[in-house]
Structure 1
């Protein structure tokens, strides 16, 4: 098992340094994916990439979070990684939980280890309640409760089946990515581990979630996945019965 971390970055010049260094302290190589950041952030990433164990992949223009993660996962395969840990650049995820995620991946290398957030008081209530609609749709579209929270960006992918899914489907490139790849991994019969992890929203955090645009994208994605589920339902139900 060869595990590294992929961090999609779009104008998070300050917090990403702490995230990357925390991952390095846990012994993970780090791949920063610059998703068309502004010059100030791009320069900060250039400096960060001079540190041992930190590499930089620069996209020529903004692809969206999903596009950046997909580029990072594909590049990770060329580096010889078997697994990739995805984590956000804004510092909302608790890097102290990294060893637990890594231990789960090592014990179950064929599994998708998906973060299941444990929030503190900093979480915006609108964001918290809005997640439940997506949870219900994911449970419908997978005909299971396999994924407890598909929107958490802290997770570990087994790269072989994940990249196969990326190559075999057109997947959302923005905030819809985290949800869609989770559903499609379940469709591909990749087993899931839901790992609780602490999540906080920094007071000075920069969010790139655009309420109207991203909610429309997510709603459209759920509709696409629903019709995809209908085609796959007999096979999924047979697989569950056989298991």
Structure 2
């Protein structure tokens, strides 16, 4: 069974999110919006979007962080009967013309996590770009594999059963550390992953919630935590891969 929805965590992206929602609806995909403690202005826009057919809104009373909002959304999507969730950022940086390609890959490989790896244009901030390379190296070390081509792109189709099982048994980062943390932990469990290129554009007037010092410190802490977790799990991880 393959019954997907789009899952969009939103925190004060009232200017960009309507276009994102309309593009996803045009692709035939129902949308689940997670209001992550947004301002009244953004909450008003989301309430208006929720009146559209095939759009649902889940409102969180306080900001949980990107990862926290996504994980709450996963549980809500499963409760509503969806089997897969296409995670999409609300800021409009993803090329939503590629939605059909990602969904087709998910239909063909329903047990796999379909991950985007970014193809950047000149709009990408150089500091963010260089920091990603350091994260790539740590992710390869912590996953004991070169399988993960990019761990920070938030454009993915998640099969919900293995994700919910992981959430029930592990503490996953709730903020900007989420995207990398969940991929490494799923790789430890031998989760199938497939990779598709995706164009990424940073709008000149876009709103980013990435805090250079705070979030880089948070991500560094995550890598350290994963490293020691990998050391403990290394024999089991390698055994599972040998048996696969």
Separation in 1, partners of 2:202, 2:65: 20
Instruction: Tell me if structure 1 keeps the 8 A contact 2:120–2:200.
Output: yes
Separation in 1, partners of 2:113, 2:12: 28
Query: Is 2:187 the counterpart of 1:186?
Result: yes
User: What is the TM-score with the length of structure 2 in the denominator?
Assistant: 0.98
Q: CA deviation at 1:212?
A: 1.1
Q: CA deviation at 1:239?
A: 2.7
Structure 2 spans left out of the alignment, 5+ residues: none
1:7-18 pair list within 5 angstroms:
7-18=8-19
Separation in 1, partners of 2:215, 2:203: 21
Partner of 1:215: 216
Partner of 1:69: 70
Partner of 1:89: 90
Separation in 2, partners of 1:91, 1:203: 11
Partner of 1:100: 101
Secondary structure of the 1:173 match is coil
Q: CA deviation at 1:240?
A: 2.7
Structure 1 spans left out of the alignment, 5+ residues: none
Partner of 2:160: 159
How many equivalent pairs are there? 243
Q: CA deviation at 1:216?
A: 1.0
User: What is the TM-score with the length of structure 1 in the denominator?
Assistant: 0.98
Partner of 2:122: 121
Partner of 2:141: 140
Q: CA deviation at 1:189?
A: 1.4
Separation in 1, partners of 2:125, 2:80: 38
